[in-house]
Chains A and B, each alone.
Chain A
Amino acid sequence: MRFKKAFSLCLSLALLAGTVAGCANSSSSSSEAVSASSAAASSEEPGIPDYLNPVGEYPITKELTTVTAMVSANSDTMSANWNDLTAFQRLEKKTNIHFEFEYVNGGTNNEQFKTQLALKMAGSDYPEVILMGMTSEQEESFGPSGKWIDLTNLIAQYAPNLTSLIESNDEVKYGIKAMDGKIYGLPYYVESVANVPTLSFFNSEWMKNVGITELPKTTDDLYALLQAFKTKDANGNGDPNDEIPFSCVGVGYLELYLQSAFQGYAGCNTSGQWDVDDSGKVVYLPQEKGFKEYLEFCHNMYVDGLLDNEFISQTSDQEKAKVKANLVGFYNMSPTIVAGTEMADQKQICLEPLTSPTNSKKVSVAPINLTTTAGVITSNCEHPEAAMRWFDMWYATEDKAVDGFWGNVSLMGYEGENWKYTDASKTSYEFIAPTTTFTDLNKTTIITYGLPSFVKLTAYISGNQLLSDKIEESKEKLEPYYRSGYPAAVRYSADEATEAATMSNDLFTYVRLMQAKFITGEESLDNFDKFLTELDKYRVEDLKALKQAAYDRYIAAKG
Chain B
Amino acid sequence: MSILNLANPIAPAANDKKLRSKSAYKWTLVKRNWQLYLFVLPAAITFILFNYLPMYGVLISFKSYNMAAGIWDSPWAEPWYKYFKMFFSSPWFFRTIKNTLVLSLYGLIINSILPILLALMVNEVRNSFYKKIVQTATYIPYFISVVVLVGMVNLFFSTSTGLVNQVIKMLGHEPISFLTSEPAFKHLYVWSGVWQGTGWGSIIYFAALSNVSPELHEAATIDGAGRLQRIIHINIPALIPTFIIMLILGSGSIMSVSYQKILLMQNDLNVLASEVIQTYVYKVGLRNSQQYSYASAIGLFNNVINLILLITVNKISAKVSDTSLW
Interface residues of A (CB under 8 A from B): 3, 13-15, 17-22, 25-26, 29, 109, 111, 114, 118, 121-122, 137-138, 141-142, 144-147, 250-251, 309-310, 312-315, 318, 494-495, 497-498, 500-502, 505-506, 509-510, 512-513, 515-517, 520, 522, 537-538
Q: Which residues of B contact A512 (CB under 8 A)?
A: 268, 271
- Chain A residue contacts of B285, Cβ below 8 A: 501
Q: B307: shortest Cβ distance to chain A, in Å? A: 10
Residue of A nearest to B294 (CB): A498
- Pick the residue among A142, A312, A502 that contacts B86 (CB under 8 A): A502
Q: A29-B69, A118-B292, A314-B154 are in contact. List 14 more A-B contacts (CB 8 A).
A: A17-B48, A18-B55, A122-B67, A122-B70, A141-B66, A146-B68, A250-B268, A309-B160, A309-B177, A497-B289, A498-B293, A506-B92, A509-B275, A513-B272
Are A505 and B267 touching (Cβ within 8 A)? no
Contact A506 B290 (CB under 8 A): no
A109 touches B287 (CB 8 A): yes
**Which chain A residues border B72 with CB–CB below 8 Å?**
22, 25-26, 29
> What are 30 A-B contacts defined by CB distance under 8 Å?
A13-B52, A14-B55, A15-B55, A15-B56, A17-B48, A17-B56, A22-B56, A26-B70, A118-B67, A121-B67, A121-B68, A137-B290, A141-B67, A142-B67, A251-B268, A309-B160, A309-B177, A312-B180, A313-B154, A313-B267, A494-B66, A498-B64, A498-B289, A501-B291, A501-B294, A502-B86, A505-B280, A513-B272, A515-B268, A516-B267
Counting from the closest, the 3 A-B pairs by CB-CB distance are A18-B56, A145-B68, A313-B179
Chain B residues near A26 (CB-CB < 8 A): 70, 72-73
Interface of B is mostly: helix
Chain A contact residues: over half helix, strand or loop, or mixed?
A: helix
Q: Is A22 touching B71 in the complex (CB atoms < 8 A)?
A: yes
Verify A14–B160 contact, CB threshold 8 A.
no
A147 touches B68 (CB 8 A): yes
Chain B residues contacting A517 (CB-CB under 8 Å) are 269
Closest Cβ–Cβ distance, residue A69 to chain B (whole Å): 19
With A and B bound together, what is the CA distance between A3 and B314 in angstroms?
12
| Residue among A111, A250, A505 with most chain B CB within 10 A | A505
Bound together, the chains give a CA A122 to CA B73 distance in angstroms of: 11
Which of A251, A314, A515 counts the most B-chain CB atoms under 10 A from its CB? A314
The number of inter-chain residue pairs (CB within 8 angstroms) is 143
A135 to nearest B CB, angstroms?
8
On chain A, the residues within 8 Å of B86 by CB distance are 498, 502
Residues in A neighbouring B202, C-beta threshold 8 A: none
B68, A141: Cβ atoms closer than 8 Å: yes
Please tell me if the beta carbons of B52 and A14 are within 8 angstroms of each other in the complex.
yes
Q: Given A17-B48, A310-B159, A312-B180, does the pair A501, B289 have CB atoms closer than 8 Å?
A: yes
Shortest distance from the beta carbon of B3 to any chain A beta carbon, whole Å: 24
Given the interface contacts A19-B56, A313-B180, A522-B269, does A502 sit within 8 Å of B284 by beta carbon?
A: yes
Interface pair B284/A520, CB less than 8 Å apart: no
Q: Are B158 and A114 in contact (CB under 8 A)?
A: no
| Chain A residues whose C-beta falls within 8 Å of the C-beta of B79 in the assembled complex | none
Min CB distance B9 to A, Å, is 20
With A and B bound together, what is the CA distance between A138 and B68 in angstroms?
9
Question: Is B5 an interface residue when CB atoms closer than 8 A count as contact?
Answer: no
